[in-house]
Amino acid sequence: MDISFKIDVFKGSLTCQCKYEKCDICTSHFYLNRDFTVKSIKADDRYFSTSSSLVKLDVLEGYLVRKFEIPKFSHTLIIEFEGYLTGDTGCCPYVKETINEDFTFIRWETFCYPMFIEDTQDSLFKYLTVSGYADISVEVPYGYKTIASEKLTSKKENIFYFNDHKAAKYNFNCAIAKYKELILPTGIFYLLNGSFDSDMLIEVMDFTSKYMNSHFGYRDIKSNTKYVSIPDGYGSFTCEENDTIFIQQSTFSSKKNMNQIIHEFTHLGWNAKAEGTVSRSRFFDEAFTSYYEMRIMNALEGKEYYLDLYSKTWNEQMNSGKYKEIPIHKFGEYEYGDLSYTAGAICLYELTNIISETIFDNITTQFLNEFKNKATTFEDFCNFYINKAKNDKKESVKKLFDDWIYSCEGFKKYIKITYIPR
């Protein structure tokens, strides 16, 4: 299948032509962004009705999309559409898209191109039923760069082609702007307009890379990792398959804000593997990563205010009424992964208070090696640190895990509940 976008950043609109073979499609309808108009649906050599209905997708919390029926065809189907992206059709609600002169963001989650999803959906990701791979091209005005979640395979004048046949195609994201490219030893930075201090960026990235490699084991983070600046409010995220990190531009504005890029960087190499409910607790990625973030920021700034910051946010979370007091090992079961950024990181901080940072770093390096390809569990984690702790610390470490991982006893030191539990 072929998907060709043409972006008019000055009008805020896009036009697109999608071409499918019979074998590409396995539903009798497709969904599209509600602000788009289909110009034509051509099946084999005949044109068909372009009428649609607005429907709610429950799997995206009532997100409104247009639904089109697909006529029967035996060879090719060509869909042409156009529309505006104003940023108002965001879903999830953190997924925003936009087309404008300063910044354009195309995200598959906002249905910027036809989505072939079964009606019996209980999970959007599970039911993206299009198989095969698309060749995607994006035409932009001269002077603009397109950086995508997919690998750029070629560029002809102002058209960018993406067709790395190894990657799943139906989660295409791209950012378009007059990016300034900065190549550093730690990666390629695509920066938006506005002031930034490149010396500071070099210093912080270099510091972070050296800190992580020397404290938690050496990782060969690719020097062509792309850091793509996006405006604040668009939400940072990482596309690991293509070594691309979309990161909010405020992170580049001061050393104090560099924590965001430090956080994403440490995700690239220093998280143990976890699966299913254990993974959804976010302990083995977000608790560890937030803890690294705290260590690096404290070392960079020579101040220790991250513990207070996390403790304050955790108190806000617990007083929002959204969470019950549940021990860390049940965060996955209750979908409380958000608490790992605060409670989880503080639990690791408490652990270093018992065994010392040096010993913690040493055990963590071994733990990350052990569970690099093998999925860990909370039991593995607790046993690993208890076994490797010095003899006179084993009892205290065990008590810490009982109080923090398996009960909420440890939380009392930090949490002042001021709300009335439901």
Interface residues with Zn ion (CB under 5 A) are: 286, 289
CB of 209 to Zn ion, least distance (A): 17
CB of 345 to Zn ion, least distance (A): 11
List, edge to edge, every strand of the sheet that includes 152-156: 46-48, 36-43, 76-84, 13-21, 2-8, 135-139, 159-162, 152-156
104 or 289: CB nearest Zn ion: 289
d(CA 296, CA 418): 32
CB of 289 to Zn ion, least distance (A): 5
135 or 338: CB nearest Zn ion: 338
d(CA 302, CA 296): 10
CB of 356 to Zn ion, least distance (A): 26
Amino acid letter at 239?
C
d(CA 267, CA 401): 24
CB of 296 to Zn ion, least distance (A): 14
Residues 6 or more apart whose CB falls under 8 angstroms from that of 138 comprise 5, 7, 106, 146, 148, 159, 160, 162, 174, 176
DSSP 72: P
52 or 289: CB nearest Zn ion: 289
CB of 359 to Zn ion, least distance (A): 25
CB of 286 to Zn ion, least distance (A): 5
Residue 20's closest CA among 119, 159, 133, 118?
133
d(CA 359, CA 352): 8
d(CA 177, CA 85): 15
CB of 391 to Zn ion, least distance (A): 35
286 or 380: CB nearest Zn ion: 286
Residue 162's closest CA among 172, 152, 173?
152
Tell me the sheet residues that pair with 4: 17, 137
C-alpha to C-alpha distances, 160 to 147, 151, 153, 302, 421, nearest whole angstrom: 9, 10, 8, 44, 54
d(CA 280, CA 303): 32
38 or 204: CB nearest Zn ion: 204
Residues 6 or more apart whose CB falls under 8 angstroms from that of 399 comprise none
Residues 6 or more apart whose CB falls under 8 angstroms from that of 249 comprise 191, 192, 194, 229, 230, 231, 232
d(CA 260, CA 256): 9
Tell me the sheet residues that pair with 3: 18, 136
- Residue linked to tokens 């440890």: 410
CB of 341 to Zn ion, least distance (A): 7
- Residue linked to tokens 């398959």: 241
CB of 191 to Zn ion, least distance (A): 22
289 or 311: CB nearest Zn ion: 289
160 or 284: CB nearest Zn ion: 284
